[in-house]
Amino acid sequence: MPSPGSVFRALLTRWKSYRYRFVPWVALNLDRNRRTLRHVPSGGTDKMAADADVCYSLVTFFRALFTCDITQQQALLSLLPASTRSMYTTPGDQATPPADDVMYGCLGFTIDRRPSSLDAAGTGVFVCRGSVPRGAVVSMYPGTCRPHESTTPNPEPGDINV
């Protein structure tokens, strides 16, 4: 039979790992650790990066991905107007660079999905090469993806399906 001391230690160990998920404990202990709090005057100003900066980096990266393998994009190019299509020249027999190299060239870093270093924490996104500038978007999570749920949004009336 385990001693009361070992049972208490086991219970204390479990509590120390669980308490951060226990909302009443978190609420009661907010004042103890002020450095984890961030003051936000209003909901509209709660942004780590400006929308324009996020849009610019995403458009730059996706445009580079599109143009680096232009030979695979002929179906999409045929949908564009001739004036836009002429902006994208088809290179000869150039080798297509890996997507990681394109990302490194545009953003200055590359990311990869890997198992977390924490036990039973699942898969995370890690920076593999380069350094991330302050305020840069590293990854975007669409929310929780479950195998039985669709990953594409339901079309709204008037949406065009391609």
Q: Per-residue pLDDT tens for 48-80?
A: 777 888 888 888 888 888 888 777 778 888 888
Cα separation, 94 vs 91, in Å, equals 6
Taking CA atoms, 156 is separated from 153, 159, 160, 161, 162, in Å, by 9, 6, 9, 10, 14
pLDDT at 32 over 90: no
Residue 109: partners with Cβ closer than 8 Å, 6 or more residues away: 103, 127, 128, 129, 130, 131, 132, 136, 138
pLDDT at 99 over 80: yes
pTM passes above 0.75: no
Are the beta carbons of 126 and 114 closer than 8 angstroms?
yes
Q: How many helices (H) and strands (E) does the chain have?
A: 6, 2
Rg (CA), the chain: 24
Cα separation, 82 vs 86, in Å, equals 6
pLDDT at 137 over 70: yes
